[in-house]
C-alpha cells in the first residue's frame, strides 16, 4: 500500500476504471449482431468489432491524466469530481468513472485559472510511469494563499526526449491552444504560430474534438487532414488513432489533386504562374469558350409532325443556363430538357396531349442530342487542360486580357502533348486539372479540413483545398516566416480569400449576371499562438536573428521550457567539413534522445559518405532510426532532440527562399542545436 492516502485512493480509482473499461469491452463483445439482412448484420458486426477495439486498454497509457473537483455556485458543499482521460469510462450503473477530455465538463480542466476558476476548486494532474500512477500535483484555484506554480508535470512533458512519432498532448493542452481545439464546427480558424507553438498538435486535437462533438454529422461528411509530404504525414499519423479516431483521411496536397500521372517538373517561375489565381479565370474562359451561339433552327420529328425551336429561343435557353452559376457540365446536362420543353409548349399549343415522358423522349432524341453536342460539347478536365497547355490559339483566347504574351509562352509545353497518358504533367498541372474538374462539376466536400503548413500553398492549391471544405469549415495552420515556396502566401487574409472562393460563382462568364452566393460562409478568425513548446531559448535567440530579414513583424516563439538549451556553432577545423560533421554527430549521439542531421539537399550524398566513414549508424527519414540524415526541404514540421545543421550557407544558396529554409531547419531543435560550417554564416546570423 502506498504511504500517501491520496495516491492510494487515486490508484484505486484507476484500478476500478480499468476493470470497468474491461467490462464495457466484454459487454460489447457479448452483443450479437442481428441485422434485418445479411449485409446489415455484417455491417453491425464490423461496427461492434471496431467499438470493442476502441475500448481496448493500452497498458502504457494512463486511463486518466487529470481531475477536477467542482462546486456549484450556491454552496461550497456539493463537490463533483471528474477524472479526465482519453475516453469515457462508466461503471456498472452508467456513472462516469473517467470523462472524455472532449466532453463539455472537461473544458474547465483546461481553461480554469485563479482569475476565472470556472467553478473548479481543485485541479489535479497526475504523473505516470508506463501505465502506473506515480505522482500528482494539486492546484486549489479558490485558495488566495496558494501561489501560481509552473506545473512540473507540464514541464516534464515538454522536456521529455523526443523519440518516435508525434504524440498527443491531451494531458497538457494550454488555454490559448484550447481556444482553437474547442472552436465549434461552424467556425473556420486560421492559426499563425511560430515554430513549435503546437499548431500541428492543435489542428489534430481540434479534429478529434470535432469528431467527438459532432459525431453523426462528421461520420457522414468526413474529416480530411492535409500535410506537406509523406514524411510529415508519417510523423503525425498515430496522433488521431491514439485519440480513438481511426477514420480520418490524411493526405498530401499532391494526393489531394491526383488525377494525372506526374512525369514533369516546372521551373519556379512557371510553377508560380500556374499557381496564380488568374489561371482559374483562364480555365473557365477556356471551358466556356466551347459554348456556341446557335445559328440554326432545331427540328425534331415525332410521328408525322416536325417541331422546331427557333434560333432566338435556343439562344435564350443557353443564356439562362449560363447565368445560373452552375458548372459547365451540370448546366449542359439541363440544356436538352430546356429545348425539349420549348417543343412541348408548341405541341400543347397545337392541342397534343403531352407529359413528362414525352419531354424526356424529346430531350433524348438524336436531333436534340446532336444539337446540344454541337452547341455545348461535353468536356473532360484532363483533356481540356492538356489542350490549354498545348494549343496556342485556345490559350490565347482563354487568356485574352488576363495573361501577357510572355506568360502564355511560359505556360505552353515545349512540345504539344499527343495524349493525356504521355503529356509531361507536373504537380502544378494536376492542380489546374482539379480546377477544371470543379469548373465542370462541383466536387463533393467534407465536413472539416485541417490544412497544415498552409503558408506554402499557391493560390490555386488553396482553391483546391478550399473547395473540399465548400460545405464545411477549416482549420488552417501555418507560419508566414516559414513560407519557402516562390508562391508562399504573403498574408493570412490573402490565403483565406483563396480558400473561401466559391466555385459556384466563378469569375466567368463575364458580362453575365451573377446570383448572390447560396451559402454565406462565416468569416474565418485568425488566432496567434505565441508560446513555444519545442525550441529552447538559446536556439530561439539564434534563429530569431533571421526574422527581421525574412518576415518583418513576425515574432519568435516565447519559449516555455525553463532549460535554455544548448547552442554550438563550430567552424570546421582545417576546412574539413566531413570530419567536423562526423565529430559533431558522434558527440550529440552520446546524449539522450533523437538526432536530426539536416543538410542542403545537394549535399546529402556527401554527408552520408562522411557518416558512413566515421559517424555513428544513422537512417533516412522513413527508417525511424534514432539518428536521421535528412535534406533541408523535408525538415518542415519535424523535430529532433538534437539537431546538427550542416553548412547553412549551402542551405541558403540552394533556393530563392533559402534564408527562410534555414529558419525552418534551425527551429527543429528540442534540446540542442549544433551548427557546423566551412563557409561564413549568413550575415543575419553571424
Ligand X SMILES: Nc1ncnc2c1ncn2[C@@H]1O[C@H](COP(=O)(O)OP(=O)(O)OP(=O)(O)O)[C@@H](O)[C@H]1O
Residue 550 near residue 661 (C-beta atoms within 8 A): no
Could you say whether residue 459 binds ligand X (CB under 6 A)?
no
Per CB under 6 A, the segment of 75-83, 167-175, 518-526, 600-608 that binds ligand X is 167-175
| CA distance linking residue 147 with residue 340, whole number of Å | 80
Could you say whether residue 225 binds ligand X (CB under 6 A)?
no
Residue 638 near residue 596 (C-beta atoms within 8 A): yes
Does the annotation list 200 as a binding residue?
Answer: yes
Closest CA to 13 of 59, 71, 66, 55: 66
Interface residue with ligand X, options 66, 85, 193, 222 (CB under 6 A): 193
* Shortest distance (Å) from residue 173 CB to ligand X: 5
Q: Which residues pair with 71 in a beta bridge?
A: 79
Interface residue with ligand X, options 128, 307, 328, 533 (CB under 6 A): 533
Q: Which residues pair with 528 in a beta bridge?
A: 192
Does the annotation list 297 as a binding residue?
Answer: no
Give residue for cell 479565370. Answer: 281
Residue 84 near residue 109 (C-beta atoms within 8 A): yes
Could you say whether residue 250 binds ligand X (CB under 6 A)?
no
Question: What are the φ and ψ backbone dihedral angles of 566, each rounded to 5 degrees?
Answer: -130, 135
Could you say whether residue 174 binds ligand X (CB under 6 A)?
yes
DSSP for 314-360, please give it: HHHHHHHHHHT---HHHHHHHHHHHHHHHHHHHHHHTT----HHHHH
Could you say whether residue 536 binds ligand X (CB under 6 A)?
no
Q: Give CB contacts under 8 A, 24+ apart, made by 609-616.
A: 609/578, 610/577, 610/578, 610/579, 610/581, 610/582, 611/581, 611/582, 611/585, 613/578, 613/582, 614/578, 614/579, 614/582, 614/583, 614/586, 615/581, 615/582, 615/585, 615/586, 616/585, 616/586, 616/589
Does the annotation list 396 as a binding residue?
Answer: no
Interface residue with ligand X, options 200, 242, 250, 359 (CB under 6 A): 200
Q: How far is CA 176 from the centre of its chain?
A: 20
DSSP classification of residue 201: H
* 298-302 vs 305-309, strand pairing mode: antiparallel
Which residue lies nearer to ligand X by CB, 426 or 482? 482
Interface residue with ligand X, options 21, 55, 153, 158 (CB under 6 A): 158
Could you say whether residue 454 binds ligand X (CB under 6 A)?
no
Q: Which residues pair with 631 in a beta bridge?
A: 599
Does the annotation list 520 as a binding residue?
Answer: no
Site string for ligand X, 108-147 (x = CB under 6 A): ----------------------------------------
Interface residue with ligand X, options 14, 169, 211, 599 (CB under 6 A): 169
* Shortest distance (Å) from residue 452 CB to ligand X: 7
Please count the helices (runs of H) and the strands (runs of E) in the chain.
28, 21
Does the annotation list 573 as a binding residue?
Answer: no
Could you say whether residue 227 binds ligand X (CB under 6 A)?
no
Q: Which three cell numbers stand for residue 172?
A: 497538457
Instruction: Using CB under 6 A, count the residues that bind ligand X.
Output: 22
Per CB under 6 A, the segment of 191-199, 296-304, 442-450, 548-556 that binds ligand X is 191-199
Interface residue with ligand X, options 66, 85, 117, 196 (CB under 6 A): 196
Per CB under 6 A, the segment of 181-189, 193-201, 207-215, 368-376 that binds ligand X is 193-201
Interface residue with ligand X, options 102, 124, 182, 199 (CB under 6 A): 199
Site string for ligand X, 627-656 (x = CB under 6 A): ----------x-x-----------------
Binding residues for ATP: 193-200
Binding residues: 193-200
What residues make contact with ligand X under the rule CB under 6 A? 157-158, 169, 172-174, 177, 193, 195-201, 479, 482, 533-534, 637, 639, 667
Amino acid at each position: 500500500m502506498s504511504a500517501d492516502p491520496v495516491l492510494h485512493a487515486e490508484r484505486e480509482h484507476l484500478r476500478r476504471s480499468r476493470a470497468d473499461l474491461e467490462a464495457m469491452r466484454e459487454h460489447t463483445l457479448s452483443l450479437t449482431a442481428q441485422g434485418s439482412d445479411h449485409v446489415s448484420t455484417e455491417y453491425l458486426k464490423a461496427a461492434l468489432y471496431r467499438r470493442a477495439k476502441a475500448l481496448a486498454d493500452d497498458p502504457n497509457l494512463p486511463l486518466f491524466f487529470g481531475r477536477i473537483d467542482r462546486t456549484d455556485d450556491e454552496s461550497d458543499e456539493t463537490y463533483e469530481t471528474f477524472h479526465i482521460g482519453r475516453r469515457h469510462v462508466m461503471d456498472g450503473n452508467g456513472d462516469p468513472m473517467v470523462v472524455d477530455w472532449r466532453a463539455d465538463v472537461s473544458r474547465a480542466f483546461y481553461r480554469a485559472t485563479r482569475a476565472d476558476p470556472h467553478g473548479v476548486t481543485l485541479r489535479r494532474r497526475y504523473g505516470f510511469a508506463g501505465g502506473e500512477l506515480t505522482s500528482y500535483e494539486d492546484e486549489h484555484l479558490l485558495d488566495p494563499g496558494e501561489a501560481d506554480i509552473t506545473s512540473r508535470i507540464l514541464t516534464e512533458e515538454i522536456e521529455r526526449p523526443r523519440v518516435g512519432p508525434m504524440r498527443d498532448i491531451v494531458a497538457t493542452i494550454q488555454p490559448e491552444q484550447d481556444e482553437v481545439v474547442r472552436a465549434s464546427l461552424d467556425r473556420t480558424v486560421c492559426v499563425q504560430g511560430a515554430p513549435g507553438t503546437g499548431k500541428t498538435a492543435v489542428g489534430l486535437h481540434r479534429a478529434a474534438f470535432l469528431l467527438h462533438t459532432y459525431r453523426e454529422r462528421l461520420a457522414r461528411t468526413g474529416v480530411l487532414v492535409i500535410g506537406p509530404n509523406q514524411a510529415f504525414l508519417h510523423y503525425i499519423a498515430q496522433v488521431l488513432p491514439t485519440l480513438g479516431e481511426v477514420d480520418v483521411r490524411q493526405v498530401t496536397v499532391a494526393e489531394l489533386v491526383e488525377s494525372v500521372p506526374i512525369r514533369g517538373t516546372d521551373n519556379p517561375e512557371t510553377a508560380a504562374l500556374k499557381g496564380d489565381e488568374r489561371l482559374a479565370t483562364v480555365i473557365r474562359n477556356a471551358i466556356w469558350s466551347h459554348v456556341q451561339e446557335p445559328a440554326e433552327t432545331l427540328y425534331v420529328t415525332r410521328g408525322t409532325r416536325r417541331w422546331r425551336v427557333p434560333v432566338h429561343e435556343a439562344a435564350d435557353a443557353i443564356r439562362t443556363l449560363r447565368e445560373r452559376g452552375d458548372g459547365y457540365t451540370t448546366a449542359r446536362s439541363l440544356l436538352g430538357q430546356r429545348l425539349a420543353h420549348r417543343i412541348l409548349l408548341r405541341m400543347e399549343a397545337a392541342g397534343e396531349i403531352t407529359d413528362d415522358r414525352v419531354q424526356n423522349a424529346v430531350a433524348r432524341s438524336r436531333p436534340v442530342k446532336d444539337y446540344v453536342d454541337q452547341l455545348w460539347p461535353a468536356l473532360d478536365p484532363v483533356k481540356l487542360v492538356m489542350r490549354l497547355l498545348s494549343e496556342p490559339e485556345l490559350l490565347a483566347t482563354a487568356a485574352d486580357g488576363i495573361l501577357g504574351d510572355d506568360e502564355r509562352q511560359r505556360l505552353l509545353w515545349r512540345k504539344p502533348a499527343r495524349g493525356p497518358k504521355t503529356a509531361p504533367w507536373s504537380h502544378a498541372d494536376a492542380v489546374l486539372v482539379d480546377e477544371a474538374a470543379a469548373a465542370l462539376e462541383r466536387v463533393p466536400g467534407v465536413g472539416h479540413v485541417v490544412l497544415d503548413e498552409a503558408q506554402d500553398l499557391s493560390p490555386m492549391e488553396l482553391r483546391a483545398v478550399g473547395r473540399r471544405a465548400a460545405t464545411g469549415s477549416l482549420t488552417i495552420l501555418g507560419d508566414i516566416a516559414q513560407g519557402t515556396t516562390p508562391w508562399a502566401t504573403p498574408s493570412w487574409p490573402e490565403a483565406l480569400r483563396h480558400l473561401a472562393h466559391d466555385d459556384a460563382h466563378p469569375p466567368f462568364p463575364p458580362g453575365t449576371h451573377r446570383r448572390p452566393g447560396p451559402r454565406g460562409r462565416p468569416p474565418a478568425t485568425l488566432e496567434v499562438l505565441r508560446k513555444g513548446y519545442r525550441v529552447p531559448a538559446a536556439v530561439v535567440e539564434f534563429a530569431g536573428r533571421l526574422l527581421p530579414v525574412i518576415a518583418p513583424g513576425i515574432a519568435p516563439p516565447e519559449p516555455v521550457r525553463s532549460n535554455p538549451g544548448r547552442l554550438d556553432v563550430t567552424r570546421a577545423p582545417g576546412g574539413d567539413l566531413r570530419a567536423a560533421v562526423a565529430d559533431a554527430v558522434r558527440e550529440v549521439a552520446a546524449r539522450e534522445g533523437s538526432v536530426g542531421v539536416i543538410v542542403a539537399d545537394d549535399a546529402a550524398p556527401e554527408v552520408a559518405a562522411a557518416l558512413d566513414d566515421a559517424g555513428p549508424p544513422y537512417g533516412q527519414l522513413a527508417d525511424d532510426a534514432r539518428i536521421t540524415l535528412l535534406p533541408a526541404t523535408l525538415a518542415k514540421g519535424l523535430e529532433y532532440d538534437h539537431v546538427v545543421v550542416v553548412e547553412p550557407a549551402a542551405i541558403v544558396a540552394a533556393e530563392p527562399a533559402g534564408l527562410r529554409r534555414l529558419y525552418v531547419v534551425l527551429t527543429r531543435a528540442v534540446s540542442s542545436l549544433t551548427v557546423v560550417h566551412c563557409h561564413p554564416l549568413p550575415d543575419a546570423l553571424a
